[in-house]
Structure 1
Amino acid sequence: MSLSWETLREHARRADPAGLVALLVRATEQERLAVAGDVEAGIRKVPRDAWWRDDRNPTPGYALAVIGTMPTAARAAALLARGNMEAWTRVGTQRFLHVAHVRELPWLGELGSRLARRLPVRDADDELWPMIRTLLREGGAEPPVTEAVVRAWLTDLLGYPRRWNGTTPAPLSRRLRDDPYRDVLLPGLFEIDGLGADLAGGSWNETTGRWDSAPRIPGAVAQLVADGTLERKTILHLTLDRLLRGDKPHHLRPFLLLHEALEPTVDELSSHALDYARLLPQAPGAVAASAQKALRAVDDAGRLEVETLLETSALTLVRKEKTLVKAQLTWLEKVSRREPARAGEVLETVAVAFGHPALDVQERALTLIGGQAGRLDPDTLARLGAAAATLAGDLPSRAAELFGTAVPAQVTGVPELPPAAPPAAMPPPIATTAELAEELVILCLEQTAIRWERVLAGLVALYATEGPAVLAAALQPVLDRYPGEFAENSWNRTSPLLHLGAAIRTISHPAVRGLRRWMVDSVRAAWQTGRRGGGDSQLSATPDGVLALRAAEAALQLTGTMIPVLMATPTHVTGSLDAAVLLERLRRAEAEGWQPWPVDFEQALLRLPRTTDPAVAARAAGLTSPAGRQFAAWLASGGLPDPASRRFEQVPETGRHYWSPRARRVVAALTPVRDGGLRLERQLLTITPGARPEAGPDTFHLCGDVLTMVLPQHREAAAAWALPELAALADQDQRRGSAVLPLLAECSGPVGPAMAYGLAYALGARHQENRVAAVDALLTLAARPDPFGPAVGAALGDLCADATLKLSRVIPALADAHRAGASAAVWEVLSAALPALLPAAPHGLADLLELSTQVARAGRAGTPVPGLAEVASRPGATRLIKEARRLQTVLTP
C-alpha cells in the first residue's frame, strides 16, 4: 500500500496506530518526505473538535503521521500544537519514539523545546509534559524556563496515583533529587510570579495514599538542602527574594514554611537583616511576624543597627495587625531602656503608634512613653506632646496631663463631609438615526437605565422628524444582527428589548397584526387596570416591568399616534424629571393637538420632585387637556403619597437545603395608603412577602438603575423591592446586588425599614465590594438632610444581636465612613445600635465600642447610650469593660 495522506487518515480514523506505524516504518524516507505537504494540509483542515466528536479519537494517529513525515522540528511542532490536535499524546511515547528512531531524526530535542514553548499555562493535557520531557531527554536538550513549563513540571512532580501505574512511588524528596531538570526548573518556582498558588495546593502523599492539602515541596527542598544536594545559601536567597516580591498571603505560605524549615542561623539572619527590615512593614501578616522574629534575634545578638530598627518601626507601628504592632512596641521599650542615650529617639518612634486606628494600641504607646517621661529632655517632651494631637477617644486628656498641653478641642485628621452635589443632568438627546443605531447596539451589550431613556426618546423623536423609511433603514440591520435579543423565544417575553424590537419592526410594518397578540393584550391590560403581570399579561409585575411596558406601548402607539416627544424622559440621571420641563412638554402637546401615551405619562408623573416651585404649579393650572389637568391636580395634591412600609421577618424552613438562607431574613411589606390613583400605582406600591425567605433572589441585580428610575422620589418603595437581594449579600453570601444601594441613596424620600435594613445587610455583606457600595450609600445619605442614622442603627442592632449579621464585617465599613467625614451620621447609627447590642454582647462588641469612642469624639457627641453605664460599671478588666468605660468617659460632660 502506497503512503498517502488518505491512507494515513483512514488508519487514524479507525484508531489503528499499529497499522500506521507499519505503513510509516515500511516506507522509505523519500516517500515519507514526499507526503509531508499533504499531511500538513490535511491536518490543517481537521475540525477543531475532531478529538472528542468522533467515537474514535483520530489525533493520536495524526501525531504518528506528523512524526513520520515532517522534515523539520518547526513544522512538526506547529502541527502538534494546533487546537485541533488536542489529546494527540494518547498515542503513547513508545510508538511515537519508535517511528522517530526508525527515521533517525536528529531534532527530537528541538521538537521538545518548541512544544515546551507552546505549552499552555493552564488546562494543558496531563500527558503533554511527560511527552515533552521524553523528547527533551531523547535529544539531550534542556527545557525553557517559562511559567507554563515550570508549572507543568511541578504538577508532574507532585503527581497523581494514575501516573505511577499502580507502583509504589518514591518519596517526594527522592523524586525531586533524581529529577534531571531540577537544577534548571526549581529556581523558577521562586522567580516566576504566581506559582505559589500551585505550591500551596498540596500534593499526593505516597505514604498515606491520599491527597495531602499541606504544601510538601518546602519540606522536600529543606531535606535536599540538609543533605547537601541543594546549596543552602542559594535556596535561602531565593526564598527571601520571593517573600520580598510579595503575593497573596496564601500563595506565600509555602515559601514561609520553607524559610522556617531552613532555620536560618544568626549569621544568616544578620546577613539578610535589611531584607527582613523591608518585610516587616509591608509583607502580609504571617511573613511580617517571621521577619520581626528574625530581626529580634539579630538584635538580641547585638548585630542590628538602631537606625535600622527605628526606620523599620516607624513604618510598622501603623500596620493594622495589633499583635504585630504591640510586639514592636514591647521591643522598642526594651531598646529604650537598653540604650538610655537614645531613649528620646526610640520613644519618638513609639509615638508613631499614636496614629494607629486601634485605641488600645494608642494607649499602649502612651503608657510606654509615660513610664519614661521623667528622664526625657523638655524638647523631646514637647515633640511628643505635639504628636499626641492625633490620639483619639479618652486619650487626649491623659496626654495633656502627661505633657502639660491643652486638650484639643476637636479631633484632627478627620475630614469634613462635603455637601451633596446636585444630580447630574441627563446626556443630550440622540440627534441622528446613525447615533440611534449605535446606541441600540450598545444597549444590546450593556443595558443601563440612562441609555434606555435616550433610546426610547430618540426612537419617538426621530420617527417624527426623519420619517419611517429613514429610521427603518438605520435600525433594521441592528435587529438582524442581534436576533437573540429582539426575536421572541420561550424565555424573553418580559424583556424590554423584545418589545423595543417590536416597536422598531412596526415602523416598516405598521399594521397591528404584525405584533404578537399577547403583547397587545398585555398593554391593554395595563391601560385598563394598571396590571403588568398575571392573567393575560406577559409582563413582569415588578417595577422593572414598567420599562418593558413602555417599550410595548411604543410598539402599539408609535405608528398610530404621531407624537414628537415622550413625556417621561428624565432631566437628571437619577430619573428625576423637572416639573417645569414636563409643563412645557404638555403645553406643546396642547398646542399641537396630541395626547401623551398613558403609561409614558404616568411614568412622568412618578418622576416629578416631591416639592414643586409654586410658580410652576400656578402655570400648570392653566392647562386644559386631560393630561394637563391631571398634571395640575398632581402638583396641587403633593404627588404620590408614600406607601406604608413595615418590617417583615421570614424564617427558613427546618432542614433547609444548602442554598437556603442560613438565618431569619428581614424584608419589607408595602401597602398603598390610598385607593385609586395612577394605573401603575397599586402594583408598584404593593409587596406581600411570603413566610419563607427566597433562595438566591436576583430580580434587580442587573437592572437596579431601572428600578430606581421608576420611583426616583420614593426611595423606600424602591428599596423594599431590592431588599431580598440586599439581604442575600449577607445571609447567602451572594456577590451581586449591592450596586443599587448608591442609586437608592441618591433618590428622594424618607428612609424607612426597607432602606435601613438594606443598608445594614450590605454593611455586613461577605464580599468587600458590597460593603464598599454600602459605605458609598451611607456617605451619600449623610450629605443630605434626610435623617437615616437611627433607623439604620436599629436595623444593625436587630441583625447583629443574634449574629444574623457578623459584627466583624460591619465595623470596618462604619470605620471607613467615619474616616471619610461622616462621623456625625455614623454616631447616630452606633448610638442607635448599641442599646440592642450591649445586653446581647455579640462577638466584636468591644471593637464596636472602640470605634464608637473615636466616632463620638470626632462628632462631638454627648448623648448617653442606654445600657452603657451598666456595662462600664461592671467589675473586672476585660476589654469589653475597658472599652465601655472609655466610651462612657468620652460621653460624660
Structure 2
Amino acid sequence: MRLDWEMLDRRARCGDHAGVARLLLHASEADRLAFGKAVEAGIKGADPNVWWRSDTNPAPSYALAVIGTAPTAAKAATLLMRRELRAMWRMIPVDRFLAVALARELDWLGDLGARLSRRLPTRNNWDNGEWAFTTSVMRAGGVEPPVTEGIVHGWLLSLLQSYGDRGQKRPPLNVRMREDPYLDLLLPAVFEMDGLGADVTHSSWGEPEGRPSPAHHFPAAIVSLVAEGRLERKDILTAVVDRLVRGDKPNALRPFVLLHDELAPTVDEIAGHALDYARMLAEGAGPVAALSQRALRTVDDAGRLDLETLLDTGATALLRKEKTLVKAQISWLEKVARREPGRAGEVFETIAVAFGHPALDIQERALTLIGKQVPRLGPELLARLADAAQVLASDLPARAAELFGVAAPVAGSTGVPSLPPPAGPALMPPPIATAAELAEEVVALLHEQSGVRWERVLAALVTLHARDGRGALATALRPVMERYPAWFSESRWNSGSPFVCLATAIRMVIDAPRHDSTHQRLHSAVRVAWQEGRRGGVNSKLSDRPDGVLALRAAEVAVHLNGSMMPMLVATPTRVNGSLDPAVLLERLSRAEAEGWQPWPFDLEQALLRLPRTPVPAEVTAGAAALTSAAGRQFAQWLASGGLPDPVSEPFTQFGDRKANGGYTWDAPVPRRLAARLRPSRDGGLRLERQLLTLDPLKYPVYMPDDFKGVEEVLAMVLPHHREAAAAWALGEVASMADQDQKGPGRLLPLLADGTGPIGPALVTALAYTFGAKQEPDRAAAVDAFLTLAAAEGPTVTATEGPTPGSGATFAGSVGAVLGDLCSDGTVKLSRVVPGLADAHRAGASVAVWELLTAALPELLAAKPRSLPDLLELATQVAVTIGARDEIPGLAAEAARPGSSRLVQEAKRLRSLLTP
C-alpha cells in the first residue's frame, strides 16, 4: 500500500491510531523510508490549532508515523521531542508504537529510548505516562535506563503509586519493590540525588486522609526489605546518613528522617558514623539536628563519644535557632560537666557560647547555669567567661558583671544607633541608541517586565523612528515579532495589555497594514480617554487601574506615530522610581516650542504627574512662565498651582462572605481584610487624574488578587510622588501575602518607600501586612522599606480613621497600631512579624522599632497571641539599646500575674527595664 500524507493525516486527526498503524504495517520498508520526509514536513507544517484538541489530538498518531518512517534514532528523537509531540508522550499507544518498530526490525530502538529519557521531567509530574512510554521503548530495545534524574524521578513515582491506571489497588509497596527489575540500579540514586525525597513525601496524594497506608509507606517498605535480606542494612543506613549529612529541603528530608527512625540504629552503628552525626547536629535542618542530638547522646551515655567531638559540635549547636534543641544541649553539657569534673572548665566555656544566642531566655539559662558554678571556678576561667559575657543583652550584662566580679557596663555608653539618610533613587540608564539594542530590550521585556525597561523601549521607539526611519527598525524588530507571536497577537485574554499596544505601534513603524482592527480599537480607546477621561468600559479595553496608563501611552504611540514625526517623548523619567526633574521637562518643552511640535496629550499628562513635590527652583519656574505653547502654558500653570493635590485616603474594612454553615465562600475566604478608599481632593484637573485617584474597594476580600503581579514597578512609576495612591490600589494584593500566603507583591514596598508623598493608611497597612507575609523575600522587602522610611526626616501619617493613629503620629507607630490590630485576632501571624522587626533593630532603626512596638503591644497584651513572648523579648533588647522608659499599657498587669510561663517572665523582664 502506497503511503499518502493526506490519508494518514486525516486518520490522525480523527484519533484513528489503529488505522494509522495499519497503513504503516502494510507498507514496505522502502516506502516507509521514502515517506519519512513527508511525515517530517507534515508535522512541522501542521496547523497550530490541531494540537489543542483533546480526544482527536493527532500527536499520538504522528508519533506512530515517526517510528514507522524515521531512518535513524536521532531523526526519530528530534521529531518526537518537538514541543507539540513532546506534550503527548503519555497518550502514545505504546503497544502499536512497538508493533510498528518490531515490524521494521529496528536495531536502534534502545538508542531512541535512551535519547528520549533525557527529556523526562525531573519534578512535578504525577502522570507517569511519559515514564511508561520511555521505559517501554528502552526495554523493547534491550537496554537498561540511564541513571539520570528524570529516569529516577519517573521510576520512583511509578513505584509509589498505590493505584493502577484503571484505579485498581496495587500490591503492597515492599512487594512492588522486591519484584521491580530496576530496584538495585535506581534505588541508590533516590538517596544520592537532591530533591527526590519530596516525591516520597508527596506520594500520599490521593490516599485516604492524605496519608499512605502502612502497606504503601516507603520507610516501612525499605525496612521490610532490609529485614528479609533483599537490601543490605549497612548500605541502606550509610545511604540514609549520607543523605542527611548533605542536607536538602525539609520536605525532601522527611522520609529519610522517618527511615532512620524505623531502622533504629544500634549504638555500634551510630558510633561508626559519629562524625557524620556531629556534622548533622551543627549544620543540619531542625529535624535532622534533633535526630543527631538524640543519636549522639545515646552514644555518649554508653561512654563511647569523644569529649572533643562533643565540645566542638556543641559550641556550634548552641547558636542554632531551635531553642528546644539548644536547651537540650545545655542540659546535656551540664550533665557532662558533673561527670567529668576535671574538664568542667572546658564544658562551661562551651556553654558560654550560648551567651551569643539571639534569644534572651537562652542567654539567661546559660548564665544561670554557669553562675551556680562560680565559687568552684578559677580566676583565669572567670576572666574568660566575663569576656564571653560581653555579648549578653538586656539586663544580663549587669548580672554577669556581678557574678564574675567585673565592672558593670555603663548604660547607653555606645549611643543610640541611627540610620544614614537614604541615598535616593538612581538615575535612569542611558537611552537606547540603536535599533538592534531596542530589539534586545523588547525581548528582555517579554521575559521580565520592569517600569524602567518599558520607559526606555517606548522612548527609543519614538526617537529612533524619527531619527532613522522605518528601515533600520523593520530589520531589527520584524524577527522579534515573528518569534513571539503569542505576546504580540491580540486575543480575548490580552486585548488591553501594553504588549498588544506596543506590538501595534511596532507594526505601524515597520510595515503599517492597510487595515488593522487592533489599531482601530486603540484609536477609539485613546479618543475616549481624551474626551471622557476614561479607561475601560465601552470602546476601551484598556485597564482602568493605574497600570492601564502604560497601555494608554503605548496606544497613544501606536495611534499617532505615523501622523507626526515626533522626535521624543517628554514623560520619560530621569530617575528609576519614575520621578522627572522639572528642569529636564522644561528643556524638553522648550525644544518642542522651538522646533514647532507639541507633545502628545497623555505623554504630557504623565510627565506632569511625575514632577516632584519639592519646591521648584526659581529659574525653572521663570523658564516655564516664558513658554508660549499650549504645553508650555500647562506646565507653567501646573508648577504655579503646586502640582497634583494629595488624594483623600481612608481606611476600609472588608469582611468575608459567610455561607449558611458559617464557613467562608471560596472566593472570599478571608474573615476580614483592611483596604483603603481613595478620592481626588478636587474636581477637574488632568484627564488621567480622576481614575487614578478614585478607588472603591469591593465589599468582600478578593480571592488571591493578582492585578499588579509582575508590574509593581510600573504601578509605582505612574505616581512616584503620591505613593499612598499606589499603595491603596495594590493593598488587596499585598494583604494576600499574609492572609492567603501569596508571594511576590512585597517588592512593591521598597519602590514606594523610594517615592515621596504623605504616608497614609494604605501605605501603613501595606507595610504591616508585608511584615507578616509568608514568604521570606517579601518580609525582607518590608524591612528594606521600613529602614528607608525610618531614615527619612520625620515622615508623618495623615490618617484620620481606623486603627491607624491620628494626624501627626510617626509612621512606625502607625504601623505598630495596625500590626496590633491584625495580629490580635490572627489575621496576620505574629511569628512572621518578629524576625523582620529584629532585623530592622539590628540594622539601626531601633528608635522606629520601639515606636512600632509601643503602639502594637497594648492590644497584643490583651489578646495574647502566640509569639507574644518573642515580641516582648525583642522589646527588651530594643529598650536597652535606646534607654527607653516608656509606660506600656497592660504590661504591668501581665508582669504581675503569677506563674513562671515565658510570657510572664518576658513581661517582668521588660517591666523591670522600663521602671526607673
Q: TM exceeds 0.5?
A: yes
What's the counterpart of residue 711 of structure 1?
719
Give deviations 1:495-537, integer Å, cap 9, x for gaps: 3344445555566769999995554454344444533344655
Letter of the 2:693 partner, please give it: L
Letter of the 2:543 partner, please give it: S
Tell me, in whole angstroms, the C-alpha distance in 2 between the residues paired with 1:451 and 1:17: 51
Q: CA deviation at 1:878?
A: 1.6
- Residues 743-782 of structure 1 mapped to structure 2, 5 A cutoff: 743-782=751-790
Q: CA deviation at 1:59?
A: 8.0
Tell me, in whole angstroms, the C-alpha distance in 2 between the residues paired with 1:209 and 1:734: 23
Is this contact kept in 2: 1:202–1:213, CA < 8 A? Answer: no
Aligned CA distance change for structure 1 residues 342 and 14 (closer, same or farther; 3 Å): closer
Q: CA deviation at 1:724?
A: 1.6
Question: Is 2:853 the partner of 1:850?
Answer: no
Aligned CA distance change for structure 1 residues 238 and 453 (closer, same or farther; 3 Å): closer
Aligned CA distance change for structure 1 residues 399 and 527 (closer, same or farther; 3 Å): same
Give deviations 1:718-744, integer Å, cap 9, x for gaps: 211111211122223322422221111
Question: Is 2:638 the partner of 1:634?
Answer: yes
- Residues 305-704 of structure 1 mapped to structure 2, 5 A cutoff: 305-403=306-404, 404-407=406-409, 409=411, 417-466=419-468, 485=487, 488-503=490-505, 519-534=522-537, 537-558=540-561, 563-616=566-619, 619-620=622-623, 622-625=625-628, 626-655=630-659, 656-704=664-712
What's the counterpart of residue 823 of structure 1?
846
* TM-score computed with the length of structure 1 as normaliser: 0.86
Letter of the 2:232 partner, please give it: E
Q: CA deviation at 1:332?
A: 0.6
- Residues 248-267 of structure 1 mapped to structure 2, 5 A cutoff: 248-267=249-268
Partner of 2:774, secondary structure, is coil
What's the counterpart of residue 742 of structure 1?
750
What's the counterpart of residue 186 of structure 1?
187
Is this contact kept in 2: 1:645–1:668, CA < 8 A? Answer: yes
Give deviations 1:174-209, integer Å, cap 9, x for gaps: 444455554444333323333322333447999999
Tell me, in whole angstroms, the C-alpha distance in 2 between the residues paired with 1:175 and 1:510: 64
Is this contact kept in 2: 1:566–1:596, CA < 8 A? Answer: yes
Is this contact kept in 2: 1:506–1:514, CA < 8 A? Answer: no
Aligned CA distance change for structure 1 residues 828 and 474 (closer, same or farther; 3 Å): same
- Residues 209-248 of structure 1 mapped to structure 2, 5 A cutoff: 212=213, 216-248=217-249
Letter of the 1:694 partner, please give it: V
Tell me, in whole angstroms, the C-alpha distance in 1 between the residues paired with 2:566 and 2:749: 36
What's the counterpart of residue 802 of structure 2?
none
Aligned CA distance change for structure 1 residues 147 and 676 (closer, same or farther; 3 Å): closer
Tell me, in whole angstroms, the C-alpha distance in 1 between the residues paired with 2:9 and 2:520: 56
Is this contact kept in 2: 1:173–1:224, CA < 8 A? Answer: yes
Aligned CA distance change for structure 1 residues 783 and 5 (closer, same or farther; 3 Å): closer
Tell me, in whole angstroms, the C-alpha distance in 1 between the residues paired with 2:613 and 2:762: 19
Letter of the 2:710 partner, please give it: L
What's the counterpart of residue 27 of structure 1?
none
Is this contact kept in 2: 1:570–1:577, CA < 8 A? Answer: yes
Q: CA deviation at 1:310?
A: 0.5
Q: CA deviation at 1:41?
A: 7.1
Partner of 1:666, secondary structure, is strand
* Structure 2 portions without partners, runs of 5+: 45-50, 797-810
Tell me, in whole angstroms, the C-alpha distance in 2 between the residues paired with 1:783 and 1:890: 27
Q: CA deviation at 1:825?
A: 2.1
Is this contact kept in 2: 1:667–1:724, CA < 8 A? Answer: yes
Q: CA deviation at 1:325?
A: 0.7
Aligned CA distance change for structure 1 residues 126 and 362 (closer, same or farther; 3 Å): same
Question: Is 2:890 the partner of 1:867?
Answer: yes
What's the counterpart of residue 906 of structure 2?
883
Is this contact kept in 2: 1:701–1:736, CA < 8 A? Answer: yes
Q: CA deviation at 1:459?
A: 3.8
Is this contact kept in 2: 1:652–1:660, CA < 8 A? Answer: yes
Structure 1, 115-124 or 803-812: larger mean CA deviation:
115-124
Tell me, in whole angstroms, the C-alpha distance in 2 between the residues paired with 1:74 and 1:520: 51
Aligned CA distance change for structure 1 residues 244 and 621 (closer, same or farther; 3 Å): closer
Question: Is 2:295 the partner of 1:294?
Answer: yes
Is this contact kept in 2: 1:577–1:604, CA < 8 A? Answer: yes
Partner of 1:646, secondary structure, is strand
What's the counterpart of residue 826 of structure 2?
803
Letter of the 2:279 partner, please give it: R
Give deviations 1:654-695, integer Å, cap 9, x for gaps: 224323241211111122223333333232222222322233
Q: CA deviation at 1:817?
A: 2.4
Letter of the 1:270 partner, please give it: A
Tell me, in whole angstroms, the C-alpha distance in 1 between the residues paired with 2:149 and 2:36: 29
Structure 1, 151-160 or 671-680: larger mean CA deviation:
151-160
Tell me, in whole angstroms, the C-alpha distance in 2 between the residues paired with 1:743 and 1:839: 35
Is this contact kept in 2: 1:661–1:728, CA < 8 A? Answer: no
Aligned CA distance change for structure 1 residues 165 and 45 (closer, same or farther; 3 Å): farther
Aligned CA distance change for structure 1 residues 46 and 297 (closer, same or farther; 3 Å): farther
Q: CA deviation at 1:312?
A: 0.2
Tell me, in whole angstroms, the C-alpha distance in 1 between the residues paired with 2:772 and 2:346: 42
Partner of 1:650, secondary structure, is strand
Tell me, in whole angstroms, the C-alpha distance in 1 between the residues paired with 2:713 and 2:170: 59
Tell me, in whole angstroms, the C-alpha distance in 2 between the residues paired with 1:639 and 1:632: 10
Aligned CA distance change for structure 1 residues 517 and 250 (closer, same or farther; 3 Å): closer
Structure 1, 110-119 or 881-890: larger mean CA deviation:
110-119
Tell me, in whole angstroms, the C-alpha distance in 1 between the residues paired with 2:522 and 2:22: 64
Partner of 1:874, secondary structure, is coil
Structure 1, 79-88 or 524-533: larger mean CA deviation:
79-88
Question: Is 2:770 the partner of 1:783?
Answer: no
Is this contact kept in 2: 1:527–1:679, CA < 8 A? Answer: yes
Structure 1, 701-710 or 471-480: larger mean CA deviation:
471-480
* Structure 1 portions without partners, runs of 5+: 25-30
Tell me, in whole angstroms, the C-alpha distance in 1 between the residues paired with 2:341 and 2:233: 39
Tell me, in whole angstroms, the C-alpha distance in 2 between the residues paired with 1:370 and 1:297: 28
Is this contact kept in 1: 2:21–2:64, CA < 8 A? Answer: no
Larger radius of gyration: 1
* TM-score computed with the length of structure 2 as normaliser: 0.84
Percent of matched pairs sharing the same residue: 56
Q: CA deviation at 1:793?
A: 0.9
Letter of the 1:337 partner, please give it: R
Aligned CA distance change for structure 1 residues 635 and 875 (closer, same or farther; 3 Å): same
Q: CA deviation at 1:383?
A: 1.5
Tell me, in whole angstroms, the C-alpha distance in 2 between the residues paired with 1:648 and 1:291: 51
Tell me, in whole angstroms, the C-alpha distance in 1 between the residues paired with 2:74 and 2:518: 60
Aligned CA distance change for structure 1 residues 815 and 469 (closer, same or farther; 3 Å): same
Aligned CA distance change for structure 1 residues 413 and 11 (closer, same or farther; 3 Å): farther
Aligned CA distance change for structure 1 residues 227 and 431 (closer, same or farther; 3 Å): closer
Partner of 1:320, secondary structure, is coil
- Pairing partner for 1:721 from 725, 729, 748: 729
